[in-house]
Structure 1
Amino acid sequence: MHEPFLEIRNATVWRGDTPALKNFSLTLRHGESVAILGPNGAGKSTLLKVLTGEVRPEANPDTICRLFGEDLWSLEELRHRIGVVMPEDVARFHPEELAYDVVLSSLRGAFGRTRDMRFSRAEKAAADQAIARLGITALAQRDFGTLSSGERRRFLIARALVHDPSVLVLDEPSTALDFAASLSLVSALRELAVAGHTLVLVTHHPGEIPPEIDRAILLERGTVLADGPKRKVLSPRTLGGLFGLPLAVSWSGGWCTVKPA
């Protein structure tokens, strides 16, 4: 069995006066991609902040929270081990920033503004490789603001991959994308999974979970409602109870389709 990169046991994380995660336990391992689903307020965003080291659970003798086997960590170190793609990151870059510089700036922990920075040949080669993996080399010298939503999202994924992280976290990656762009993005994610990347996909939509991801985790009100093989977890009864709707679930080629019953 692969080593865990996230171990949480009996953790409580507060958001103001409200526990966003309550007595929460979860283990994520290298080599096993997962999809995390749940309605708004289920705790998905808080879990991501724990995973990326932004927040820590409440101190408690019974609580365990380890990232890559460590109880203490630095954000700088995690930046090299976890690649993160958030929909809101698109707005962090000036429209006239070169798409290539969007990727390069990750090497300095910055968002753009690379014109006064210096990069080694090895760093530029890493950016070139990440861009090539997403099939967007021909767009690298375009202004970021002239790209389509799907193209910009691909550059954000390349930006997350430039450090060659062992884990890639994607929060609602298809948000604001049209149908064609969503299909193209999912195709890119499938290629990354096949290439051996460990993906953590956070989504509202069971239908965008690619066949290469077999484990699904459902969150409800700060707890794990279900965790296991997606064909078992994404059942009409469990999904219907989670979202409060009568649902019908069908499967084809590893893809899940959910419709009103």
Structure 2
Amino acid sequence: MKAAIKLSHVSVVRSDTTLLDRVDWTVHEGERWIVLGPNGAGKTTLLQILGASGFPTKGRASILGERLGRVDVFELRTRIGHTSTTIADQIPATESVRDAVLSAAHAVLGRWNEQYDDLDVRQADQIMGEMGVARLADRTFGTLSEGERKRVLIARALMTDPELLLLDEPAAGLDLGAREDLLASLQTLAADRSAPVLVLVTHHVEEIPVGFTHVLMLRAGSVVAAGPLESTLTAENLGRTFGTRVDLTYDSGRYAARRAQYGRRAAREEVGP
């Protein structure tokens, strides 16, 4: 199976601080990965490498078959979709949702004098429908709720038919209903065999959509564990990742975690009321 991402002994050092430390990681086509870790784990630095906007200090990084340092990164970036709050902040508040999605075809933020044909419009409408935002097509971006914005950003990222889609904490800041709507859309996307390779970064196991297949767990720039979700996402590995004892539960494809009880409190819970 072809590797979409291959990192070999990748380290990133800035101002004498090691942000990533000898990371080995391979992602194959068709896989859907979660990157999980606390603040300062190196997740943002990792995304910069995956998005071809950052480079390793040491080691080798190949993205979509192209080795960083030996490829035109501007061309490589056209094959990678990316969602983040930074992109959302650059979309004009008065831009229609349809135009916010359409303008990705020309890699611009804010429609100007670009020309789009009927095929572009149909593709945008189809993607918006798949992401559950078709009804918002004529609304302006500035009037959307945070959850609606997140789904529009994913639709925009899919407009260019990327081979790799990077989702940077897509559920951050959402209320319960908006989070569940977003996760339902991501579950649909994960189940689509024609969808790109997916890499979703999060702090919370509750934000892992059904259908994601693998997990990479980071702490202080180093890999704690990596592999299939069902065997790798364990209470032990989660505790090592976040530096605390954790109780992990699983139900109907969804995970939940909380700090493990211990001492007298744990004893009281075991006895019950």
Q: Determine if the TM-score, normalized by the shorter chain, exceeds 0.5.
A: yes
Correspondence 1:107 to 2:115: no
Report the residue type matching 1:89 in the other structure.
I
Q: Deviations 1:14-42 (Å, cap 9, x if unpaired)?
A: 23321211122111111011101011111
CA contact (8 A) 2:35 2:216 kept: yes
CA contact (8 A) 2:217 2:224 kept: yes
Q: Which one of 118, 122, 127 corresponds to residue 121 of structure 1?
A: 118
CA contact (8 A) 1:67 1:73 kept: no
Q: Which residue of 1 aligns with 2:81?
A: 83
What stretches of structure 2 of length at least 5 have no aligned partner? Answer: 261-273
Q: Which residue of 1 aligns with 2:227?
A: 228
Correspondence 1:147 to 2:180: no
CA contact (8 A) 2:93 2:140 kept: yes
Query: Displacement, 1:108?
Result: 1.7
Instruction: State, as a whole percentage, how many aligned pairs show the same letter.
Output: 37
Q: Which residue of 2 aligns with 1:132?
A: 129
Secondary structure at 2:66 match in 1:
coil
CA contact (8 A) 1:134 1:158 kept: yes
CA contact (8 A) 1:150 1:182 kept: yes
Whole-Å separation in 2 of the counterparts to 1:121 and 1:73? 33
Q: Which one of 36, 61, 66 corresponds to residue 62 of structure 2?
A: 66
Secondary structure at 2:190 match in 1:
helix
Whole-Å separation in 1 of the counterparts to 2:236 and 2:78? 40
Q: Which residue of 2 aligns with 1:168?
A: 165
Secondary structure at 1:42 match in 2:
coil
Whole-Å separation in 2 of the counterparts to 1:75 and 1:107? 18
Q: Which residue of 2 aligns with 1:210?
A: 209
Q: Deviations 1:140-186 (Å, cap 9, x if unpaired)?
A: 11111111111111110110000111222111001111110000000
Q: Which residue of 1 aligns with 2:247?
A: 248
CA contact (8 A) 2:92 2:109 kept: no
Moved more, 127-136 or 148-157: 127-136
Query: Displacement, 1:233?
Result: 2.3
CA contact (8 A) 1:87 1:175 kept: no
Q: Deviations 1:224-259 (Å, cap 9, x if unpaired)?
A: 110122233222222122222221111112211112
CA contact (8 A) 2:219 2:242 kept: no
CA contact (8 A) 2:224 2:240 kept: no
Cα 1:74–1:130 shift into 2, 3 Å = farther
CA contact (8 A) 2:8 2:61 kept: yes
TM-score for the superposition, normalised by structure 2 = 0.88
Report the residue type matching 2:123 in the other structure.
A
Q: Which residue of 1 aligns with 2:265?
A: none
Q: Which residue of 1 aligns with 2:263?
A: none
Report the residue type matching 1:250 in the other structure.
T
Correspondence 1:260 to 2:259: yes
Query: Displacement, 1:195?
Result: 0.8
Query: Displacement, 1:115?
Result: 3.4
CA contact (8 A) 2:94 2:141 kept: yes
TM-score for the superposition, normalised by structure 1 = 0.92
Q: Which one of 189, 192, 211 corresponds to residue 189 of structure 2?
A: 192
Aligned length: 256
Report the residue type matching 1:13 in the other structure.
V
Report the residue type matching 2:60 in the other structure.
I
CA contact (8 A) 1:53 1:78 kept: yes
Moved more, 44-53 or 76-85: 76-85
Report the residue type matching 1:97 in the other structure.
E
Secondary structure at 1:31 match in 2:
coil
CA contact (8 A) 1:126 1:163 kept: no
